[in-house]
A and B are shown apart, each in its own frame.
Chain A
Amino acid sequence: MITDSSGIIDVLAEGLAIWPVVIPLAAAALTLLLRRWPTLQRSVMEVAVAMMLVAAAVLLARTRNGEAIVMKFGGWGKPFGVTFVADMLSAMLCTAAGTVALAVAIFARADVRARRRRAGFDALFLGMLAAVNGAFLTGDLFNLYVWFELMLATALGLVTLDRRRAQIDGALRYAAMSMMGATFMLVGIGLLYGETGTLDLVHLSTTLARGEPSVTSSVAAYLLLAGLLLKAGLFPLFFWLPASYHTAPISVAAALAGLLTKVAFYACLRVFVLVFGVGAHMPVVSGMPPLFALLAAATMLVSVFAAIAQVDVRRLLAFHVVGQVAYLVMGLALASWQGSAAAIFYTVHTMLVQTGLFLGAGAIGRAGGGFDLRVLGGLIREHPRFSVLFAALALSISGVPPLSGFWAKALVIDAAFRSGTPGAAWLVVAALATGFLTLYSMSTLWTQAFWRPRARAPHAARAIPVAMVTGVALMAACTLGLGLAIEPAVRLSRAAATQLGAGVTLPNGTTSAGASGTVP
């Protein structure tokens, strides 16, 4: 064993890429053993989340120079063993996920009581975080699938934490559809292996680029597309999301809204840009950009309309989660590096803001005694400070400068204008229309829940616990900060996008074998 501190530092540094996954995993196991002591569970979870965030931040700092940090599990290098490849994109998203997790953990102090913790909230939450980071970091297709399954399982557990009827119903739909998605993914992976004999993302891309386009690879590609877009919540595969999110405990809903669909989109970036080379006009995926464009436009409009019809804050926000993902896919549809860069920035932005909005919904529910906009009201008088925070988030998602939401929209639209793709103009029209309707929906929510006096006889104003406000405030601060510090953020996104498109170059060559050194 190494004892002197420097050695430990080395070990920590060596394994930098794994800590965002291994820390929550270990913590999850620990909370399983501590299940008799909810408060202990909570502390373990909180510490783990904090450490995870730090690890991710360090990772980001280390990868900024454009060099990917690689962890060869078992010492078998690419393409034989499973590897983690932490490049800028992964590091960025891990950091964002860590921030989201932190906000949720703080909020949960007031929202998740002992009963829910005994039911396993902490273990499942940590498991989900591990899965999210794993998906962000892994350089192996099948490994990606494993993390998705872990995400699904933990999400199901989290949604049904209270065993309410609605939760069970929602979880059933969630489970059924997501398992179908996983099935499609897995078949795609199988076919891909049958064609190329490898699972390593980089090796896959090189092998596919070398090989002839074939039915197998194209069917595989589109099955993966179906699976990933389903999990990303894109129309018409998105039914599971609005069917379940509004039933979950609000902390859970916030975490899901901020993390899951974005992970799926990230996977789309990796698989279709890196492996199949959507940007590089590979024949296998030649049909994808138009498909992406079509689905993105449809999703934007459908979801925002559906959101406008809602009277329950959680449902309303759930549909906006769907709508925002469509903007990411729009970036992907442009098949240009500007498009990817915009999508990457948008992903970070929407992770933070969606979580913030759902946490805000939780606070609204606590203060207003419900989520029904037909009943809510008067919050601006009772909770002026919280109102300002929520307003910031609402304005951000509506794309009002200088909040991050504005830059996100502007970048995507700008990329659309710059990409010569024929349908781009229509995409922009859809995006602008959706932006307007989003503003409409959010401003209506605002006047109903905050301005309008209560419909019911005003009960004594209920206080919003500090923890809740803090969680919302953290996210609001993030969206403002991201908007003001746009320069570094955009630089990072662009660098990440170019790195993604170029394929990851490893410090010591893509094929470095493990225990015995060289490869035959």
Chain B
Amino acid sequence: MIAMLLATSAVASGVSLLVGRFLCRRRVGWLLGLVPAGLFLGFLALHGTIEAGQTITERLAWAPSLGVDFSLRLDGFAYLFCLLVTGVGALVVVYADAYLVERSPEDRARFLTLILFFMTAMLGTVLADNLIVLFLFWEATSVFSFLLIGFDVDSPSARRSALMALHVTAGGGLALLAAILLIGVVLGGYSLTEVVVRAPELARSPWSVAILAGVFIGAFTKSAQFPFHFWLPNAMQAPTPASAYLHSATMVKLGIYLLARFEPVVGAVPGARDALIAVAMITMLVAAFQTIRAENYKTVLAYSTVASLGILVMLVGLNGPMASVATVGFLLAHALYKATLFFCAGTVIHATGLTKLRQMGGLWRFLPVTALASALASLSMAGLPPFFGFISKEFLFEAQIQSSWDAVPMAVAVLVNAVMVGVAGVVTLRPFFMGAHRVQDVRHKEVVGLLLGPMILALLGLVISLEPTWVNRVVLLPAVMAVYGQRVDVKVALWHGVTPMLLLSAAVVGIGALLFVFWVPLHYRLRTFTRVDRYDAEHAYDALLRRVRAVARGIAERLQQQDLRSQLGVIFFAVVAFLIWALITLGRGPRFPASVGAVRVGPALLALVGLAGGIAATWARSLLAAMIATGLAGLVAALTFLVNGAPDLALTQFAVESLVVVLLTVALLALPLDAPTTRSPRARRGDAALAAGLSVILFIALLDMAAAPQQNTVSAFFGARSYLDAFGRNVVNVILVDFRGFDTLGETTVIALSAVIAWSLLGPRVSIEDGSGGARRSVFVLEFASPVFFWLLAVLSVVVLLRGHNQIGGGFVGGLMGALAFAIVALTHGVDRARKRLRFHPLTLAGVGLLLAVASGLPGLVAHGDYLRHVWIEANVFGVHVKQGTALLFDVGVYLAVLGTVLAFLFGLTREAEA
């Protein structure tokens, strides 16, 4: 049933936008008002169960493995909220329709939709039993409040206030989330019922303080308690219907709701009650002070709301059954009269276009009914009999007397309630009945839509107290029972005889009357204390944001303004730090090779030459020299490979190095070759130290590795299988095309795709097919030699490719050699000649190559179910025994890809250099 109601609410909210935009563009409020009204009746229909003191629970599975199920629970306290939310909701929708009469139908539809969505979120929050679900709706109310406060998106102050409200409430939400997750850790579940039942367990847990802190912050931000109260007065930027609904009657009460739910835990944790009461008292005093200082009609109401919320928090903090009674009673009373007052304020502001109280007066002549409603509400707020406000105030004082608390909260309560009395007088008498000369005319007369809400609520405040039995039975008693945990018999009556409470009420009214009389001078007097504004929370908030932005800017500068060098420096520094940390945490020294081993003089010298090349490269002033030195190191590496049993590597490294030299030369031709040092000596020393640090660690690691016993099961396997199963004698090549062919495929892709990059980066960009080679530079000696070289290399490359599987060679080396062949042509006769010689577009070669390589894996997949498993065919062609397989196809693909790419770069760079 309740799940149904909630779902209906959600769906209806969704539909309402369409209704408002397309179906019924005028008077839509009366139609949409039926949604909350219907829900109200729906909840009313449940009163039997609630009266009987039972709770309705419904459970839908959602995320059991997280302990999160969509469980709803309707007890007396939630019931009170549901009735408030839906009942006031209906009136707000009707009121808003009349209030937003000048707005476009779209805007009105948008507003009403937001209101209805908000209502849904409220219902969800109070109905949820699972804390995660509760949090879901809780956050939703924050978001909708954000959207409603900022409804007038064109007004900067509205946007600012919306952001403020969102940051405060959602920030508190994060604290609440942490608390909820901790509850999950402690209790192993998120059920609110569990929390109440197992409160002592929670209180005993080491997390108890953290949990309560989170809950408190969540509640205080939502219910505008000091120091988070400042967002609420600013929230008055929202259209008045929203203020009446969210920021007085319902949403701001959620904090109270939460605290009341956690009351058992609060009671069980020492000091928690004190904390609540302390915060509440500060809030009440600050709010009372600001109420008197406030000028705007709505601001006065807002601060008085903050004060009332303070009272409610204090009541939760107090112990004893009467505290619960008072909480419930005051909650209801406040919702009724404060919403009414907001409605009236809205009507006044709407009709006069004025916002400041002092500008208003004598409005009863134009808005008689509104004046009446306001008067009734004020009397209730002032706590005068026979209004419900009076009864709730009696409860309040009774609670205080009962509870084991000294006089301070009592005094504060008396004072603040007196201020309430004053406010009640001010907000009704001044605009409506005094200073008739101030306002001569209003924009429009009252309309039904603007009257329905205030009148109904105001009259309820009277009716309830005159005929309390029904409300008491259906709403108050069950609610109190739900909060307090057991049945409390509440005597709702106007006259209990002369009790201390009555005397206190009398005192309050007396002081309040005085306050009202001296309101104006007091108001101006307090306004002169401008210094306090500098210390209030709102300024702290602004200062905080300024600080955040300043810090942010500073960080952004430090991050963005560095050049590449310093960023790399930071990275290297971090890496060194990592490695040192590694060695520290490892807690053991390196191993060293047992013996240095026989030093072969030739290779040793060779290696040292290579190192010298590297060092020279760092010293070289001219880029060309640096490049040659680098190349030298590369060539030495190649020779080192050669003398250590890696001819394949040697060959490839040779080819690569020479190609790199060729390509870089071409590129460097376009650059200034003389590059003076770019680093100050100090910077150079620092860099040197950094580099040295890293290389020392690497050296140690290499020694340690060399000392480790070699484990070569894998390569032994390759050695054993290479010929028998992969039919290749060159193990390295077999590894490349077969054992680890997939690496090679990936690498071929790298190669092939860098051809694309070359083509998109280099050369004038008329179109990708453009092949404008520049004027050819002729190098005479080479010119004669070049055809020879070309064919020599071309043929050689193919040979290398074909024999690769059994002797030294393979696709890469082949491709690189082929590229070298064309490189020579390009260098001697210019790019055009080379391209003519090539006939194909380099990218085509690369593409075909890649396609071949990829495709060569498929036969294996089809035949054996293993991709890249090569399929071999043996045949006798003209008596020659040929054994070839898809491995060759693969190698050819690699060959083409490499060829195409290198040429793409060659041509591109040359064109670029010559462009």
Contacts and interface: CB of A to CB of B under 8 A. Distances in A.
Given A150-B746, A432-B177, 19 more contacts: A28-B749, A32-B756, A33-B848, A74-B870, A119-B760, A120-B756, A143-B746, A160-B760, A195-B708, A214-B588, A215-B591, A222-B581, A306-B556, A309-B553, A417-B185, A435-B174, A447-B150, A451-B153, A452-B156
Given A196-B711, A451-B159, A214 B174 contact: no
Interface in B122-173: 132, 135-136, 139-140, 143, 146, 150, 153-154, 156, 159, 162-163, 166-167, 170-171
A184 B575 contact: yes
B767 A118 contact: yes
Going nearest first, the 3 A-B pairs with the smallest beta carbon separation are: A287-B585, A32-B847, A197-B711
Contact of A73 (B586, B718, B755, B867): B867
Contacts of B700: 215, 219
B714 interface: yes
Contacts of B559: 239, 242, 302, 306
Contacts of B185: 414, 417-418
A309 B556 CA distance: 6
B867 A71 contact: yes
Interface string B843-875: 110111011001101001110111111100000
B851 A215 contact: no
Interface stretch (A264-272, A363-371, A483-491): A483-491
Contacts of A215: 583, 586, 588-591, 700-701, 704
29 contacts: A2-B862, A10-B865, A11-B862, A14-B861, A29-B752, A32-B756, A32-B850, A72-B869, A74-B739, A74-B860, A74-B870, A118-B767, A143-B743, A146-B747, A153-B753, A180-B572, A214-B588, A218-B585, A219-B697, A305-B552, A380-B153, A399-B174, A402-B136, A406-B136, A439-B166, A486-B62, A514-B866, A516-B721, A520-B717
A461 to B, nearest CB: 15
A197 B585 contact: no
Interface centre among A196, A199, A230, A410 (most CB of B within 10 A): A410
Given A142-B743, A306-B559, A447-B162, A75 B866 contact: yes
Interface string A68-90: 00011111100111100000000
A225 B870 CA distance: 36
A33 B583 contact: no
Interface stretch (B485-493, B560-568, B790-798): B560-568
B62 A451 contact: no
Interface in A33-72: 33, 35-36, 71-72
Contact of A520 (B720, B760, B860, B867): B720
Contact of A11 (B851, B861, B870): B861
Nearest to B843: A32
B574 interface: yes
B193 interface: no
A33 B724 CA distance: 38
Contacts of B62: 486-487
Contacts of B720: 520
Nearest to A34: B847
Interface string A236-266: 1101001100000000000000000000000
A35 B847 CA distance: 10
B582 A198 contact: no
**Range class of the A interface residue count:** 35 or more
Nearest to B576: A226
Interface string B307-336: 000000000000000000000000000000
Given A194-B708, A305-B551, A437-B548, A154 B167 contact: no
A163 B765 contact: yes
B583 A72 contact: no
Interface in A416-438: 417-418, 428, 432, 435-437
A308 B544 CA distance: 14
A460 interface: no
B912 to A, nearest CB: 12
Interface centre among B743, B767, B846 (most CB of A within 10 A): B743
B660 interface: no
A156 interface: yes
B323 to A, nearest CB: 32
B7 interface: no
Contacts of A173: 564, 567
A310 interface: yes
B41 interface: no
A187 B698 contact: yes
Interface string A1-39: 110000000110011001000100110111011011000
Nearest to A494: B65
Contact of B743 (A14, A32, A82): A82
A15 B869 CA distance: 12
Nearest to A168: B761
Interface string B56-75: 00000011111010000000
A157 interface: yes
B65 A491 contact: yes
Contacts of A402: 136
Nearest to A491: B65
A214 B163 contact: no
A72 B866 contact: yes
A391 to B, nearest CB: 9
Nearest to A143: B743
A502 interface: no
Contacts of A432: 174-175, 177-178
Contact of B579 (A223, A399, A406): A223
A443 interface: yes
Given A154-B753, A198-B711, A308-B552, A487 B64 contact: yes
A124 B757 contact: yes
Contacts of B522: none
A444 interface: yes
B906 to A, nearest CB: 18
**Range class of the B interface residue count:** 35 or more
B571 interface: yes
B854 to A, nearest CB: 5
Contacts of B891: none
A150 B578 CA distance: 26
B555 interface: yes
Contacts of A131: 746, 749
Contacts of B724: 516
A207 interface: yes
Interface string B788-806: 0000000000000000000
A436 B171 contact: yes
A197 B712 contact: yes
A127 interface: yes
A223 B27 CA distance: 70
Contacts of A75: 860, 864, 866, 869
A287 B702 CA distance: 21
Interface in A342-367: none
A216 interface: yes
A515 interface: yes
B588 A213 contact: yes
B808 interface: no
Interface centre among A154, A216, A310 (most CB of B within 10 A): A216
A337 B15 CA distance: 44
Contacts of A243: 560, 567
A111 to B, nearest CB: 17
B753 A14 contact: no
A123 interface: yes
Contacts of A494: 65
A182 to B, nearest CB: 11
A32 B767 contact: no
Nearest to A18: B867
B742 A74 contact: yes
A457 interface: no
B402 interface: no
A226 B574 contact: yes
B179 to A, nearest CB: 11
Contacts of B494: none
